[in-house]
Structure 1
Amino acid sequence: MKLFEYKAKEVMKKHGIPVPDGFVVSKPEEIRSLPGPVMVKAQVLIGGRGKAGGIKPADTLGDAKKVAASILGLNIRGYVTKQVLLERRLDVAKELYLSITIDRSRRSLIFMASASGGIDIESVPEDKILMMPVDPIIGYQPFVGRHVASFLKLESEQAKQVENICAKLHELVVEEDAELAEINPLVITKDGKVVAGDGKITIDSDALFRHKDYESLPEDLTPLEEKAKTLDIAFVQLDGNIGVIANGAGLTMATLDSINMFGGKAGVFLDLGGTDDPEKVKSAMLLMSEANPKVILLNIFGGITKCDTVAKGVLEAIEAKKIRIPIVARIKGVNEEAGRTLLKNAGMIPAYGLSEAAELASKESLKVI
């Protein structure tokens, strides 16, 4: 479960991490006073807010109301802005990156730090990023924070503040059952304070029974995600142009990895689970078509699922919506020959293995129309 920035900062503040003074509103008229010059920030669970016009400065109360009005209702990559956070503008001297997350390969928590803050950490060269694991047996120790501060080459006073923030971030993820706590940027102000300029927290959904206050928080769903929830279909929107329909979380993840390996990029993935109900498959296919992918990759492994009944549901959707985009179909398992024949006769691109399917879909997605 991802938390909105305002809520993430409330949690950080609760654990002793410095954050700017601020408040959240859903209407411009709710803004009655300011803590000084502010940044007005769209509260959506997606990146790229600044480029989309979702983060703007305001100096006066009147400016803040006008800016809030321009951001509220703004559609940012499918997410409609329903709230804005107004917080004191920081006098920035330097921006850093700091996060703590779960490293499943090491089976431990791990800190990530970089002197290049304020940008996507994935765009930072590996040699500019510190990866500092926390020993799960002895737990967090002060030397972890000291090592992070040393890597960032901070002066004594700022180093002490970062060491304290590292300890508090570790406390946060343990006590809140968080999978990720990220501060990007971690701001050093011109008067030497270290403050969380932005905040992201992801809570383990399986631990929500221990955190009833999170269960009542509103979800930030796109119209398609709302529809998928109604249909009880696992549906996630991403940044690429390949639509992936698979059955089972493991197969879906393997399909996404294979697409990346061949230079493609998934734009949405949909997990059918164990169903082969033609009506549900049809609904899933229609939902996928609404996401407007450039190509669809259908990857089905039939254990309990029957490949021919899945194929029938796909064909019903194609006929109902007159779907004309390329579809790469890889089906394996129970009644696969019958299912493959149905799909091939309908003009789909057949594939016999995962790598072949991912390569074909990636090539289709990269074609210039």
Structure 2
Amino acid sequence: MRLHEYQAKRVFAEAGIPVPDATLATTVEEAVDAAGEIGFPVAIKAQVHVGGRGKAGGIKLAEDADEAREAATDILGMDLKGYTVDRVLVEQAVDFVNELYVGVTMDRGAGKPVAMVSTKGGVNIEEVAAENPDAIAREHVDPAYGLHPYQARKAVYDAGVDREVAGDVASILSTLYDLWDEKDGSDAEINPVMITDDDEVIAADAVFNVDDDALFRQSEIAQLEGETTDDDLEAMANEYGFDYVRLSGNVGIIGNGAGLVMTTLDLVDHYGGSPANFLDIGGGAKAGRVRNALEVVFADDNVDSVVFNIFGGITRGDEVARGINEALEEFDTIPNPVTVRLAGTNSVQGMEILNTDLVTVEETLEEAVQRAVADAEEVAQ
């Protein structure tokens, strides 16, 4: 579960991490009023789950009420990387002299949590990790004991943080780890931590993602779930119980298993296409579940073709084929061409059952993906 910035900052503030004064607004008038109450200058920030909001025009500074009105008018309702902005965070602007990064996540290679600090804040940390990995100081944590104070201090000093603010940054890192641990976090980041000219340390952004499987014991965070979905399609997919991520391409992808779907995404890209989504239909592929998956994918106006990649394990290929047939027969008109690849248990029988008036059947995944990419190109022309 991905919290919005305003939600994550609320969690951080309650734990003692300093954040700027801010108010959530859903209308231009609310944004202008909030800016006046907070005091100028302010930052007006789109609340959607995408990176690079500033470069995309989703974050603007305002020096007075007229600029605040203009910024809120521009941002509210805008399409930001496929998401419609319906709320903004109006936040006290921070006059900073330096930007840092602090974060906590699971290092799956080491099998341990890792706390991270970098003086390269304010930019994409993945780029920093790829281009200059030594710029990120890391401390692996024994989860039985937590992040020791000396580890937090060591990470801060190893990163080269100025001594004047090192103690405060170490305190933020320790608090962030405690939150990550106590609230079953998957990722917790502040990028940037802003340093002011009088050595104040402020969390100017906030990322906090929580393990979905732990929400049963995180009742306060679970109550926020309805507010965390930016997109109607993602909300629909959540309602149907699918693992779904909307992307920016035009080839819809449905598979049974996360690894299978990821492989399909990679092949779509490899053959020159662009994935429109990640949709893991999960175990079983009866007609109703297939129908729901197709409803989600067909509802995306960007989709020009669909590829099914199904591996029959416990679920038999002939059952899957009947489910696909029954689901497609419920549509008066099939909006987009559909290609199916079946493998595994009873896949041969399944491919014989599939109604080729409704779908194109391909024997290999490579052939199925190439067909779907070609269909998307043809529809898009």
TM-score normalised by L of structure 2:
0.82
Q: 1:306 aligns with which of 316, 320, 339?
A: 316
Matched, 1:117 2:121: yes
Q: 1:338 is matched with which residue?
A: 349
2: CA distance, partners of 1:138 / 1:261: 44
Q: Does the Cα contact within 8 Å between 1:140 and 1:167 map onto a contact in 2?
A: yes
Please give the secondary structure, in 1, of the residue aligned with 2:139: strand
Q: Does the Cα contact within 8 Å between 2:338 and 2:372 map onto a contact in 1?
A: no
Deviations 1:11-65 (A, max 9, x none): 1122222211222122333325123310011112222322332211111234324
Residues paired across the two proteins, number: 366
Larger mean Cα displacement after TM superposition, 185-194 or 171-180: 185-194
CA spacing shift, 1:51–1:320, aligned 2, 3 Å: farther
Q: 2:217 is matched with which residue?
A: 210
Q: 1:59 is matched with which residue?
A: 63
Q: 2:180 aligns with which of 173, 179, 197?
A: 173
Deviations 1:187-216 (A, max 9, x none): 222332222111010122232233322232
Q: 1:234 is matched with which residue?
A: 243
1: CA distance, partners of 2:374 / 2:123: 31
Q: 1:13 is matched with which residue?
A: 13
CA spacing shift, 1:159–1:254, aligned 2, 3 Å: same
Q: Does the Cα contact within 8 Å between 1:96 and 1:186 map onto a contact in 2?
A: yes
Q: 2:360 aligns with which of 348, 353, 356?
A: 348
Q: 1:108 is matched with which residue?
A: 112
Displacement of 1:3 in angstroms is 1.2
Matched, 1:152 2:152: no
CA spacing shift, 1:170–1:320, aligned 2, 3 Å: same
CA spacing shift, 1:137–1:208, aligned 2, 3 Å: closer
Opposite residue 93 of structure 2, the aligned amino acid is R
1: CA distance, partners of 2:367 / 2:209: 32
Opposite residue 302 of structure 1, the aligned amino acid is G
Larger mean Cα displacement after TM superposition, 357-366 or 26-35: 357-366
CA spacing shift, 1:361–1:239, aligned 2, 3 Å: farther
CA spacing shift, 1:321–1:50, aligned 2, 3 Å: farther
Q: Does the Cα contact within 8 Å between 2:136 and 2:159 map onto a contact in 1?
A: no
CA spacing shift, 1:283–1:320, aligned 2, 3 Å: farther
Q: 2:29 is matched with which residue?
A: 29
Please give the secondary structure, in 2, of the residue aligned with 1:206: helix
Opposite residue 143 of structure 2, the aligned amino acid is P
Larger mean Cα displacement after TM superposition, 306-315 or 24-33: 306-315
Q: 1:220 is matched with which residue?
A: 229
Opposite residue 72 of structure 2, the aligned amino acid is A
Larger mean Cα displacement after TM superposition, 65-74 or 173-182: 65-74
Please give the secondary structure, in 2, of the residue aligned with 1:132: strand
Matched, 1:288 2:300: no
**Alignment RMSD (CA, Å):** 3.2
Larger mean Cα displacement after TM superposition, 8-17 or 239-248: 239-248
1: CA distance, partners of 2:16 / 2:323: 53
Q: 1:78 is matched with which residue?
A: 82
Opposite residue 57 of structure 1, the aligned amino acid is L
Q: 2:72 is matched with which residue?
A: 68
Q: Does the Cα contact within 8 Å between 2:176 and 2:188 map onto a contact in 1?
A: yes
The sequence identity of aligned pairs, in percent, is 37
Larger mean Cα displacement after TM superposition, 247-256 or 201-210: 247-256
Displacement of 1:181 in angstroms is 0.9
Displacement of 1:322 in angstroms is 3.9
Q: Does the Cα contact within 8 Å between 2:298 and 2:336 map onto a contact in 1?
A: no
2: CA distance, partners of 1:166 / 1:213: 23
Opposite residue 217 of structure 2, the aligned amino acid is R
1: CA distance, partners of 2:282 / 2:218: 28
Q: Does the Cα contact within 8 Å between 1:294 and 1:326 map onto a contact in 2?
A: no
Displacement of 1:79 in angstroms is 2.6
CA spacing shift, 1:158–1:14, aligned 2, 3 Å: same
TM-score normalised by L of structure 1:
0.85
Displacement of 1:113 in angstroms is 3.0
Displacement of 1:73 in angstroms is 2.5
Q: 1:140 is matched with which residue?
A: 147
1: CA distance, partners of 2:367 / 2:126: 27
1: CA distance, partners of 2:127 / 2:250: 20
Displacement of 1:361 in angstroms is 7.6
